[in-house]
Structure 1
Amino acid sequence: MSELPPLNTETIWAILNEDLDDRTVNELVWHHLGYRYNTESDRWDATQVDPDWRETYPEPPDFIDSRPATVKLTRSIPKENKQLLKEQLGFKGYKIGTFGPRQTRRATMANWLLSQMSMKGVGSGE
């Protein structure tokens, strides 16, 4: 795994603006779900992952390619945090005709990360 950017609003905007590649965005979500890559065993360690996630995804899912994983991620965002992209960042969404499932899933990942920031009291970095 590469070095991850800090969890802050600049990173959230970089996800939305597609300044970060899909792999890095996935890795950010995996990290905050609790997945850790063990270089010695060359395997993923999911011992820190919530049991519900760990049971369904013993290895971290590719949220860009997996609609079911993204739906599960969406459902794990507390109701009061569902609109954080709009409320905290003023994100108005993507223009019609300029987005597809990939951008929608990246926005879901960004909102989940922003929700994590809110719940953990993280602001300018981690």
Structure 2
Amino acid sequence: MNKDKFLRNDFKWSISRQILSLILEDKVSDIFVCELVWERLFYINEPSIDGWTSSSLTPSYWSEKFSKAPQIISERSASVHLTRSIPKDHKQNLKKVLNFKGYKINELYPRRTRRATAVNWLIYWSIDSSSSLDDFPKLPKISPPSPNPAKGHFGDPEIK
């Protein structure tokens, strides 16, 4: 596997401000969000085992703790790990890059805050890999926001 190939945006989905906004607005599944992160952590989709596993390019910080790609949104420990992997000078990327004002008190659910963490990490990854956020790539299937923001979309893993 060649890291340069991936850094030239050879991913299933490109990252754009539009996609990041869809994540924050809860208009895409938790699984989709995880796959965006997993690819950029160089986990590989292994259909034979019905899951994603680490590769030789997966940072050791991740592969040592998670040999299989963790559920970033549904598992608290994975979300905490993602938060800790964002350098301090990138912690405010949601505000600086997307002008995101945050959620209102009545909108705060672990799922939503973990999605915001994932978006912040994806912004950091884009900056670190010199990848533009201004492209207008194809968009994933857009859904209405989950009727129960604490639980997620149909088919998403249970929040722990």
Shorter-chain TM-score above 0.5 = yes
Q: State the AA in 1 paired with 2:86.
A: I
Q: State the AA in 2 paired with 1:82.
A: K
The structure whose Rg is larger is: 2
The equivalent residue for 1:52 is 61
Q: CA deviation at 1:92?
A: 0.3
- The share of aligned pairs that are identical, in percent, is 38
- Listed one character per residue, the Cα deviations across residues 38-60 of structure 1 (whole Å, up to 9, x for unaligned) are 33565534122111211110001
C-alpha separation between the residues in 2 aligned to 1:22 and 1:42?
17
Aligned pairs (5 A) from 1:45-124: 45-47=53-55, 48-123=57-132, 124=134
Q: Relative to total residues, which structure has the larger helix share, 1 or 2?
A: 1
Which runs of 5 or more residues in structure 1 are unaligned?
Answer: none
Q: TM-score, normalised by structure 2?
A: 0.71
Does the 8 Å contact 2:53/2:69 carry over to 1? no
Moved more, 31-40 or 75-84: 31-40
Q: TM-score, normalised by structure 1?
A: 0.89
Q: CA deviation at 1:121?
A: 1.2
Does the 8 Å contact 1:84/1:111 carry over to 2? yes
C-alpha separation between the residues in 1 aligned to 2:53 and 2:35?
13
Which runs of 5 or more residues in structure 2 are unaligned?
Answer: 1-10, 138-160
Give yes or no for the alignment of 1:18 onto 2:59. no
